[in-house]
Amino acid sequence: MAKDLAPGGGGDNGTDGPAIGRSWAGGEKPDLNDLMTTHPVTGERGIFIFAYGSLCANPPPGQTNRYETAITGFRRDFAVQDIFYRGTEEKPGLTLGLDVSEGTVVPGAVYFAPESSADKMLDEVHRQETPKGMEDIYRPQIVETNIGRGKSVPAMAYMANPESALYVGQSLSKDEKAAQIASSYGIPNNDYAKRTRPEGRIGKTDLEYLAMTSINLEDAQNGDAYLSSLTELAVQKREEMINSGDPKQVQLAGLLAEMEQDTAVEKAFKDRIGVDVVVEAASKMRPGAAPKIDPGAAANEGDYGADQHVVSTEGVLAWLAEQRAKKADLGKAAPGDEPPRRAVGGP
């Protein structure tokens, strides 16, 4: 049930719109009419949605305008466990959420969709933010942001929901969060995520999500120092996995590196955590010293994780070579065939 926490409209020019502070229960989808407002510059009726994570890099369908912006009074952090997009029930990842934090500024983007396509944007974003098993991790709330020219607008944002069983807030240290992000992955199987994946790619890592968000904000001259430092710390944690000498950790690092090929995280950190780096580290491991690895340790749906059977150092190298060969085969076309197409867009 929605709650009005503040009276009045959202714009600085007295336009009608949702009240700043109005919120809904965890997982509840606001009625489109409750979000409608008037664009203070164009005069169009429509809705605004504030983006602070993956939406910054992947504009939702239905939007017609994007503005680099920021909101005040909240902090962005990996405050919620993710068992769908960036983790599993057995090994949860972490995802971003907003918590109240007086005086703190959160850089991001705000999207506008006119009345004719507002339902399309709302439906897609809400579907993305309420995946199966994680329906209540966010609660929609109206925040005040601006679109330049001194014009403020009311925008819907997805706040972390402290009442969700998956909420972690500040219970984990920055170091613990970095370690969890460095080793987690899930399956992007909604329309939004599929648009950003190369054809044939199954997994999506938590580190890719973090790096993609941080790099995109920096490219927009709207960087977040916390996300930048957390990205560096998570990369260091991945390096520790690669150089651990533990076949299980090395194999997982190889799996993650495969998933990250052709993504923002590989482009930025290929020389530190890329596939070739993992292969080199595996080649230096003591032959025959590796314990048997549980086939389900890093398993997930799809081709990745289907043959997690490594039992030795040689097995780690063979498995990595096999995965690289599979990727190479994706790029080969039979005579007369068109080469495989990749999905439009990307981090």
Structure token digits, residue 1: 């049930």
Q: Residue 41: exposed, middle, or buried by beta-carbon count in 10 A (0-12, 13-18, 19+)? A: middle
Q: What is the dihedral of CA 187, 307, 259, 289, to 10 degrees?
A: 130
Query: What's the pLDDT score for residue 54?
Result: 87
Q: Which of 4, 2, 23, 29 has the alpha carbon at shortest distance from 135?
A: 29
12-26 mean pLDDT: 81
Percent of the chain at pLDDT > 70 equals 73
Please say whether the beta carbons of 313 and 286 come within 8 A.
Answer: yes
Q: What is the dihedral of CA 67, 190, 208, 168, to 10 degrees?
A: 90
55: DSSP letter:
G
Q: DSSP E strands: which ranges in 115-186?
A: 138-146, 152-160, 185-186
The DSSP code for 152 is: E
> Whole-angstrom Cα distance, residue 8 to residue 249?
54
Structure confidence at residue 188 as a pLDDT band (50, 70, 90)? low
Mean pLDDT of 292-303: 37
pLDDT at 231: 97
Tens digit of pLDDT for each residue in 91-139? 999 999 999 999 999 999 999 999 999 999 999 999 999 988 999 999 9
Give the CATH number of domain 32-171. Answer: 3.10.490.10
Judged against a pLDDT cut of 70, whether residue 332 lies above it is answered with: no
- pLDDT for 106 equals 96
Asked whether residue 195 carries a pLDDT value surpassing 80, the answer given is: no
Distance (Å, whole) CA 244 – CA 236: 12
For residue 69, the surrounding DSSP H or E stretch is strand 65-82
Instruction: For residue range 67-94, list pLDDT tens digits in order.
Output: 999 999 999 999 999 998 899 888 999 9
pTM (predicted TM-score): 0.78
Q: Taking the domains of the chain in order of start, what are their residue ranges?
A: 32-171, 177-325
Residue with the bigger pLDDT between 149 and 306: it is: 149
Rounded Cα distance between 175 and 154, Å, is 35
Model pLDDT for residues 263-288, shown as the tens digit of each residue = 888 999 999 999 999 999 988 887 65
Confidence of residue 186 (pLDDT cuts 50, 70, 90): confident
Contact 118, 202 (CB under 8 A): no
The residue among 151, 148, 115 whose CA lies nearest residue 11 is 151
